[in-house]
Structure 1
Amino acid sequence: MDGGTLYSIGELARRTGLTIKTIRFYSDRGLVSPADRTPAGHRRYGPDAVARLALVRTLRDLGLGLDTVRRVLDRDLPLGRVAAEHAAALDAQIGILRLRRAVLLAAAGSGATFEEMERMHQLATLSEVERQRLIDDFLGSVFDGRPDRTGPAAAVRRSLTPELSDRPTEEQVTAWVELAELSLDPDFRAGMRRLVEDHVAGPPDGAAPAPPRPDVVAVTRDLVAAAVSSAVDPESPQAGLVVARLTAACARAVGHADDAGLRDWLSDRLTAAADPRWDRYGRLLARISGWPDPEPLAPAIDWAVRALGAGAAS
């Protein structure tokens, strides 16, 4: 087709896939101009109109407004700059839509009331500063205002702090909403505070002072994991050997002799840690922070408590 060929608006519509009405609208707005008119006043467009309309269609499909499209076509705005700015705007919109979808899915999955869904929405749309304030309030309650910034309490506090990325996935947003709701539960806060106090407090009565020690819950999980996975009966002689290793390890960790006092203290400590909400918090924390899901604590703790009780009774 040579450069002098002109197209009617109908021919232009067939070549571009746009409707005649749309082309006429774009033409009236100055996005594409007719090269000539017939004696009857019908518009005729040159070959460049095909490429121009293709670009208009692409930019409009990408969400650019007509004024911006015109300025790009007229070279008043560099296309690269417009594309970058629009991509950034779309990122923000995608983030908002992701938040909304996460809230709706969470509400649908939990059968939430209107008030509960509104609460979820508020938690999901908190700013970074507001999220940090909520977590600081939760951890401040859990750690009872402890000023320690370098010792055991500080290390535990850091390990319990979620870090939501600037561009979270829907799964991370959903996990954040659940964790935020859990952190606002007064009963959960009280239970967490007891766990923290047990971990950072001194050893059982009669124990020698010791340096910062491993968490006995983690020690228990590591030592009884094989017994749990092998379905060892916690009241069996084989379990007794595991308990002996466990109490010896905890005695070293807390600087206490392996006696009945330590066994009772350990059983109480593990019983306090058996709250299923602790596993839930750990799982949500991992998802928010992009870590692998942790192994649940409950099976190991339940097994150890039963084995300790069986040993004490024998």
Structure 2
Amino acid sequence: MFPSPDGLWSIGELAEHAGVTVKAVRFYSDRGLLPEAARSAGGHRRYGPEALDRLRLIRSLRTLDLPVPEVGRVLDGDDVREDALEDAVAGKLKELGSQLAALRWREAALRLIQDCTPEERADRLRLVGAVTVPPSTAALARFWKNWLPPRLPARLTSVLIEHSVPQPPAEPTPAQVLAFARLHAFVSGPCPGTGRGQPAVHRSDTGYRPAVLYDGLREAHELASAEMRAQRPPRPGGALDCFVAAYARSRGTQDTAAFRRLLGEQLAADPRIDHYWQLVAELVSPASGPPEPTLGATHEWLRAALDAQVSRTAA
């Protein structure tokens, strides 16, 4: 197998046995991935029998689209570093996932444009063209940072944004692409709270402590979600009591009929972002079965339950 007296291959012989070009062997050698065993009297590279297996391994790693520096980290000396290989493969899988997500988004966006009327096309092109591929939720997160009251604890802000910002579906339908594009356009405009007043709980002159409120509302929304999944109409009960109690605690007062009446009036007067939650519902709506309640939907359920109870009490 090794015709040379010294049992070594020339660069051309190694390339022939490996099925690659001499240029490729020289490239990997120059970058230290394929060490040569010796040099001939004329200064030509010579390779030992282990070079063939190493060259095949290099080709396999390159076939996986690992960049040359990554291949070098995997081939540490004469050994294969398993930890470096796992990191490199994980990195390529993440990169590939992002590429696939972008392709799926583009496909759904193209179908959205293909299936609309000529009158709708210009508007849809404008909406879709404003969204990055794959889509980013950064604009939605900025919207909520502007909408939420200032000086909330970082932990609480993070939790609220996590529950308020929907993630684009991995395999979107054209309708979901349109919903996200409209959502992106909505949050990229002037914040609905800016210049028109914020909800009462956000203002320092109303006596509320926003951090106390938002920390206490989580259980109320979970209970309301369960009511909505069971398809129950807005009604008095544990969810509403928990909801009102959170507001009462944040203001340092008692849950009374008078407070419930005042709270109902304040919530009715608050700026609304219903359009945001309608688009979120369209975006996250499952292909089959009832939609998962959004925070906006549970808030409206709780408000309706409060209004109904206050009306009955007044009657």
Larger radius of gyration: 1
Question: What TM-score comes out, normalization by structure 1 length?
Answer: 0.48
Question: What TM-score comes out, normalization by structure 2 length?
Answer: 0.48
